[in-house]
Chain A
Amino acid sequence: MGEGSEPAVEDGDASRLRADGRIRRHAVTTVRGGFFRATVVLTALFLYCPVLVVGYLSLAPASQPSIPLEGATLRWYGAVLTDGRFVRGLVTSTAIGAVAAVVGTALGLLAARTIVRGRLPAWFRAGVALVVAIPLFVPTVVVALGIGVAAGRVGLGFGLGPVVAGHLYWVLPFSTFLVASRYATLDDRVAEAARDLGADGATVFRTVTLPRLWPALVASVLFCFALSFNEFLLTFFLAGSGVTTMPLEIYGKVRIGATSFLNAASVLVLLLSGAVAAAAASLEPPT
């Protein structure tokens, strides 16, 4: 600003005001920035502190850790990996998770195709979307009780079959909407062009549509695996006495207070699902 030509008093006031404002704004920004940074740091601590604590306690020599630890040992990790029930639960969970991930994503792909591209009446496509989305807005305990009671009434009973079916249904909305959002961005004219050039439906799907859906499908497989691997309540209602999964096994151990064993088991489980999450994060940014 051309300050020199203006009356001295006014100029002094104006510049003092400006300077004041600048100082005040700078101070406020710093305080505010400090507040925001503090919330971010505290939130990160809040989310990760429990994990660090359990990691630390898992090294305890005794079965009931005393804080601070007297020495450190990996013996509980050995105990976890040689515990038949726990390993069986882990294997069962991994197997169910793999089925839920692959079959759930395939079903999700079909549902997404129906919703986004299906040559079917709009009410039908909306109906499919609604039915698939039920687990998103109906509390899990209600879904679980419903499937449990219905399975009992039609004589299916409990066990591995109902658990796998329940998990497939549980992951279906996530795979469907993950794939559908990607499907919706595809340019339909490329597929049409392939058709006009004589490709049949299956060929178009395999050579044109599938490659471009690939990232969403991989993300869906990983996400469905994590969802199924960690699902507790649904399994709790449907497993009966013959099936044990990792979350059920851990829940049982929490009830009887097997602490050091549980700490080591928790760390192993967290590492495993963390690895899946990291794989997913490196593929597809969450935004």
Chain B
Amino acid sequence: MSGETDRRWIPLPVDRDRRRALADAALAALPALLATALGVVPLLVLLVESVSPPVTLSNYADLGGSVYPAVMFRSLGIGVVVTLVCLAIAYPVTYWLAHRCPARYRLPVLVSFTLPLWLNYVVLNYTWVWILASEGVVNTVLTGLGVVDRPLDLLRTASGVGVGALELPGLSLGLGFVHIYLPYVLLTMYVSMERLDYRQVEAARDLGAGSLRVFLDVVVPETYAGAVAGALIVYARIAGAYATPQILAAPSEQMIAQIITTQFYDVLDYPFAAALSVAFLAVVLVGFGVGALSTDVRAELKRW
């Protein structure tokens, strides 16, 4: 106690600290207010809106009717299927890139794979229209070579293939989605694949493991966090996409964002659009909750 009273310079730094903390709070206020006004408040407004007028759960009750459960389920199903396809492509590609590719080509190849991240997805989706249309590139080549007599229905055709309630996306919708979201998965997987110690792969080979064994017992356990992180980054975006199904989906492949948009723009039924959004958000967040339970995945997601 007596020592402290002698050291009279102590109050000064404390005062300086308080001033600095105040300045820090003032600087933090700007982004925090913007993020609250445009992130938290709108979500609360949606929540309130979804149980109006005055207070009712009828909007949520309406969700059970008509096509809505099917659309919600289809959206999530397409999100999962497309994500799995992206992962199936990303595994061999990033493995080659991280462990086989000569070092001087590595960066150029990686950059060229991630370049489409920067491009406009409306434009990228549209490019598939011309490839798959009945007088498009694929059909012209196929009819020209005499492989088929008349053009195939490739554009905006539902797959009609499903496992239980999980319906696979049609060709044009699936290609359009993979084309946009593959670069995200490639980038996430690459970061993870690069940290895989290649000596483990060599050791497993020397011990007689075949390719499948190496993949399942070495590569997958070492990189699953990156795969889950990549999946989490894209699956909700795919399930909630609007432009891609508008441009490339069959009429029977309506997705959740299209219904929400219709309710907002044409029907002007804000409470019901809000209920749809809140329900969709809840389902999407369950996926994140489950994925983020793993600390490895959380560490991987932090990079984003």
* Partner-B contacts on A (CB < 8 A): 25, 28, 32-33, 35-37, 39-40, 43-44, 46-51, 53-54, 57, 65-68, 107-108, 110-111, 113-114, 117-120, 124, 127-128, 131-132, 134-143, 145-150, 152-153, 165-166, 168-169, 172, 176-177, 181, 201, 226, 229-230, 232-233, 236-237, 246-247, 250-251, 254, 259, 262-263, 266, 269-270, 273-274, 276-278, 280-281, 285-287
Among the listed stretches B57-65, B163-171, B216-224, B257-265, which one makes contact with chain A, having 4 or more residues with CB under 8 Å of it?
Answer: B257-265
> Assuming A35-B92, A145-B277, is B28 touching A111 (CB within 8 A)?
yes
Are B30 and A142 in contact, with the CB atoms below 8 A?
no
| Cβ-defined partner of A114 (8 Å) among B31, B191, B233, B261 | B31
> Assuming A50-B128, A251-B122, is B32 touching A149 (CB within 8 A)?
no
By secondary structure, the A interface counts as helix
* Partner-A contacts on B (CB < 8 A): 17, 20-21, 23-25, 27-28, 30-32, 34-36, 38-43, 45-46, 49, 89, 92-93, 95-97, 100-101, 107, 109-124, 126-131, 135-137, 140, 178-179, 182-183, 187, 190-191, 194, 205, 211, 232-233, 236-237, 239-243, 246-247, 256-257, 260-261, 264, 270, 273-274, 277-278, 280-281, 284-285, 288, 303-304
| CB pairs A–B below 8 angstroms (27 shown) | A36-B95, A39-B93, A40-B97, A47-B116, A47-B179, A53-B127, A111-B28, A113-B24, A124-B28, A131-B32, A134-B39, A137-B232, A139-B237, A139-B257, A139-B281, A139-B284, A141-B260, A142-B281, A145-B274, A232-B243, A233-B242, A233-B257, A237-B261, A251-B246, A270-B119, A277-B115, A287-B110
Are A66 and B135 in contact, with the CB atoms below 8 A?
yes
Taking CB atoms, residues of chain A closer than 8 Å to B117 are: 277
* Cα-based distance from A287 to B187 in the complex (angstroms): 8
Taking CB atoms, residues of chain A closer than 8 Å to B130 are: 50, 53-54, 57, 65, 259, 263
Residue of B nearest to A281 (CB): B111
Which 3 pairs between the two chains have the least Cβ-Cβ distance?
A146-B42, A139-B240, A50-B127
> Assuming A118-B28, A176-B31, is B194 touching A287 (CB within 8 A)?
yes
* Cα-based distance from A150 to B38 in the complex (angstroms): 9
Taking CB atoms, residues of chain A closer than 8 Å to B246 are: 251
Are B277 and A141 in contact, with the CB atoms below 8 A?
yes
Are B191 and A138 in contact, with the CB atoms below 8 A?
no
What's the nearest-Cβ distance from chain B to residue A194, in Å? 14
Are B42 and A149 in contact, with the CB atoms below 8 A?
yes
Taking CB atoms, residues of chain B closer than 8 Å to A118 are: 24-25, 27-28
Are A128 and B120 in contact, with the CB atoms below 8 A?
no
| Cβ-defined partner of A128 (8 Å) among B35, B38, B112, B281 | B35
Are B187 and A286 in contact, with the CB atoms below 8 A?
yes
> Assuming A43-B182, A111-B32, A140-B237, is B127 touching A51 (CB within 8 A)?
yes
Residue of A nearest to B240 (CB): A139
Residue of B nearest to A115 (CB): B28
Residue of B nearest to A165 (CB): B38
Are B116 and A141 in contact, with the CB atoms below 8 A?
no
Residue of B nearest to A268 (CB): B123
Are B28 and A110 in contact, with the CB atoms below 8 A?
yes
- Which of B100, B114, B119, B211 has most A Cβ within 10 Å? B119
Q: A113-B24, A118-B28 are in contact. List 10 more A-B contacts (CB 8 A).
A: A43-B113, A53-B137, A114-B27, A149-B42, A149-B274, A233-B243, A273-B119, A274-B118, A277-B115, A286-B114
Taking CB atoms, residues of chain A closer than 8 Å to B303 are: 181
| Cβ-defined partner of B261 (8 Å) among A40, A54, A141, A251 | A141
> Assuming A40-B96, A230-B118, A287-B191, is B46 touching A142 (CB within 8 A)?
yes
| Cβ-defined partner of A146 (8 Å) among B45, B211, B257 | B45
| Cβ-defined partner of A141 (8 Å) among B40, B120, B128, B242 | B242
Are A236 and B27 in contact, with the CB atoms below 8 A?
no
* Cα-based distance from A138 to B39 in the complex (angstroms): 9
What's the nearest-Cβ distance from chain A to residue B43, in Å? 5
Taking CB atoms, residues of chain A closer than 8 Å to B45 are: 146, 149-150, 153
Residue of A nearest to B90 (CB): A43
Are A67 and B257 in contact, with the CB atoms below 8 A?
no
